[in-house]
A and B are shown apart, each in its own frame.
Chain A
């Protein structure tokens, strides 16, 4: 990291070999603080700016999740191997008179042959016996020894940011194929509330019947969120047993039994997914996420003239909220894997 870089947010500079000792000192120094840790939360990202951003995110969700954070910033292929390390703690006061609850953060910046250096840097700094959640914030899967991914209990990534999603999905899936690692795509979590809301609209008997006979699906997504809309479409495809006809483009055709379903993707500024229309002969369901709001308006219209409007929580665009949702939800994301299998041919 350049000497001019602002590393104050990372805490006290330490030697890699002295990290454990410095952490111990951190807790011995102040008895008004309680160290809390339920997971090892490792973040691997590229460059100093991403490290700063990750530190900011960690400080925000320390209230909801107890972790030991291991932040590793990488800069592959720059001269010889070089590492720098810092230790820090994020604390909050749960209630007046209580002890501060703190989570520790170990930050490491590594330059050079990252592929060779990374496994030991990660494995040697994990807290005993705690599961490892690894957030891969890089574009460069070739920079990682697949062993690193296989060690993770949960591997978090955000496929929205990928430039070559088809290739990267394949690489990630292959890397963890024989392990118990759970793939956690923030791009999938980004539609959690939308999927919950849409699902709720079909809980009634006539709704459930309509769901099986949808005729048209229209999704409006933000620029750069096409993969988000395709994952949503993949979810509908997988859950409703549709078969895709062809791929690519913004008009995609499916069949379910003898019925045809037409789908349209439209790009417009706004939330990642700002509008979803599900049409059946007797029922129209329209979900709209107005810009700058945290709710969805859901309008139902039946052919017989009935209508209903509901307001439900919308998905946040804030990465910290999305990450918080993922860590809080847990599970093995089997439906995601089904949706992904249906999405990949559409990419």
Chain B
């Protein structure tokens, strides 16, 4: 619950940064022993400190069940940060940064643990100048969210002192369906108002995802063409060569639709399809994204059976090595019906996108890893160069999200020579080649945004619920008795089941070759 009063303006800050100013705070990480803390969160906080972007009075308090001391946790973190930080670590900077790291051992359900946490935070405030601001990071299993949030509220940790704030960052998944998402949102709202709730989807912290809005709304040439009059269809692909690795139990319950489509992919659909926001404030941007999700055509069971393909990887080979089938992975049911691949044809039913299908494909153990948004424009009129018997290919604008971030535009061009021959060429922009500086990790940007109170790159309650509403209808149809959709096998190392090819070829189109 925020209680930010008119904070005195610091005139020395003028011109030093064009971003909202992060404020010093105590960051409490629930799940301090977890993988995310070691691999992402602490390296992100360290890099912010090493770059001078983390307010120096910020303290980090790890909250977890295992017994550790401040010093032992710091040593573990130093080892992992040395490996996982994008810039390694500088001993001098680490020595200073690690002095602000503390460990708090408690069971998540132990009220005493939260009362002593409150005392610890107050003590840190007194010693330093974090001025009572608190940022709680829930890096734990979603099943622990409600318990932790209730304990935070019971201990009064969510009530900041006058002039300070208290915020929470929640990691995805935001529920497993609409009902659990609503329950989670209710649990959050007991302790934190929506303005202080930051649902993190690290995809939105990636430079290229942020660049979608810049590309669309800072370049007049694209936005004028960005509608059903000029665009034939959009393809969004997120492919991984990895299998489920150690995430078998989680993945068995989630599947590709819940794991990827409900969050990352629908966020990319939103960025691609949204109307220009009235401003760049968090709510203005999220209002437009929420409208896109509400505009997604709800599919009937017949349409779901026809326009959505589920797949599961069978044995195959990746990079010259044999890999097992999904059902042979560790801690996966040998008769599992969980999808590791999904291809969908979506429609955004609004004026701008009427009649423009969005083809989505996500999957594991595919031929190549990569994520991209491809906007395919309509063919040039069938006169002059674009004759019916020798059609030219369409223009295509591709926004590559990973791994080789960039933008490319396919154009038609005359091949030099005395005869008229036209071939497609590609104008290609690579972030890596043009901007050699290392981009900050997505978590760095997102944590700093939360400390600044800027929720633009975080999902809002209604966005999440609308996304679940859409996904639940599909899951419901898949698992209904009598209408259950088929689950098609595909060999690992390929581009998914042939039924996915048929889905798009039926419309006279093909998947892009990545």
Hey, which bits of chain A sit against chain B, CB under 8 A?
34, 36, 38, 62-66, 92, 94-95, 98, 101, 193, 195-209, 211, 235-236, 239-241, 293-295, 298, 300, 306, 308-313, 328, 331, 333-336
Contact = CB atoms under 8 A, between A and B. Distances in A.
Given A94-B433, A310-B57, A211 B131 contact: no
B16 A312 contact: no
Judged by DSSP, the binding face of B is loop
B57 A308 contact: yes
A64 B437 contact: yes
Contacts of A236: 12
A214 B127 CA distance: 23
- Among all A-B residue pairs, the 9 with the closest Cβ atoms: A311-B96, A335-B15, A208-B8, A310-B56, A199-B12, A36-B433, A64-B436, A239-B11, A63-B436
Contacts of A64: 436-437
A239 B97 CA distance: 30
A157 B52 CA distance: 25
B163 A331 contact: no
Nearest to B97: A311
Given A34-B430, A203-B23, A298-B56, 13 more contacts: A63-B436, A64-B437, A66-B434, A197-B56, A201-B56, A202-B10, A204-B131, A206-B129, A208-B10, A310-B56, A331-B15, A334-B15, A335-B15
Judged by DSSP, the binding face of A is mixed
B6 to A, nearest CB: 10
A33 to B, nearest CB: 11
| Residue from A34, A38, A204, A331 with most neighbouring chain B CB atoms (10 Å) | A204
Interface string B411-431: 000000000000000000010
Contacts, number: 115
A203 B11 contact: no
Contacts of B163: 205
Interface stretch (B61-69, B87-95, B168-176): B87-95
B12 A198 contact: yes
A197 B15 contact: no
A308 B434 contact: no
A308 B437 CA distance: 33
Contacts of B51: 313
Interface string B33-65: 000000000000000001110011100000000
A12 B401 CA distance: 39
Contact of A310 (B13, B50, B90, B96): B96
Given A199-B12, A208-B10, A334-B15, A308 B129 contact: yes
Nearest to A311: B96
24 contacts: A38-B434, A62-B436, A65-B436, A66-B435, A92-B436, A95-B432, A101-B432, A196-B16, A196-B52, A197-B56, A200-B56, A202-B12, A203-B21, A203-B55, A204-B57, A211-B10, A298-B56, A300-B129, A306-B127, A308-B128, A310-B57, A311-B92, A312-B56, A334-B15
A66 B437 CA distance: 10
Given A36-B433, A101-B436, A209 B8 contact: yes
A259 to B, nearest CB: 15
Given A196-B16, A198-B12, A209-B8, A203 B52 contact: no
Contacts of B50: 313
Contacts of A95: 432
A299 B14 CA distance: 23
| Residue from B14, B97, B436 with most neighbouring chain A CB atoms (10 Å) | B436
Interface in B82-138: 90, 92-93, 95-97, 126-129, 131
B14 A239 contact: yes
B9 interface: yes
Contacts of B9: 208
B7 interface: yes
Given A34-B433, A36-B433, A205-B7, A293 B92 contact: yes
Contacts of B131: 204-205
| Residue from A64, A196, A235, A336 with most neighbouring chain B CB atoms (10 Å) | A196
Contacts of A94: 432-433, 436
A195 B12 contact: yes
Contacts of A298: 56
B23 to A, nearest CB: 7
B219 interface: no
Contacts of B243: none
B78 to A, nearest CB: 15
B81 to A, nearest CB: 16
A200 B55 contact: yes
Interface string B13-32: 11110100101100000000
A295 B10 contact: no
Contacts of B18: 331
A4 B11 CA distance: 55
Contacts of B24: 203-204
A335 B436 contact: no
Nearest to A298: B56
Given A203-B23, A204-B131, A333-B15, A66 B436 contact: yes
Contacts of B12: 195, 198-199, 202, 211, 235-236, 239-240
Contacts of B16: 195-196, 199, 335
A294 B8 contact: no
Contacts of B126: 306
A336 B14 CA distance: 10
A190 to B, nearest CB: 15
Contacts of A206: 129
B434 A36 contact: yes
Contacts of B93: 295, 311, 313
A196 B55 CA distance: 10
B92 A295 contact: yes
A292 to B, nearest CB: 11
Contact of A204 (B11, B129, B430): B129
Contacts of B433: 34, 36, 66, 94, 101
A332 to B, nearest CB: 9
B436 A313 contact: no
A240 B11 contact: yes
Contacts of A62: 436
Contacts of A63: 436
Interface in B303-323: none
Contacts of B435: 38, 66
B106 to A, nearest CB: 27
Contacts of A209: 8
Contacts of B21: 203
A188 B57 CA distance: 26
A293 B15 CA distance: 26
Nearest to B96: A311
Nearest to A202: B10
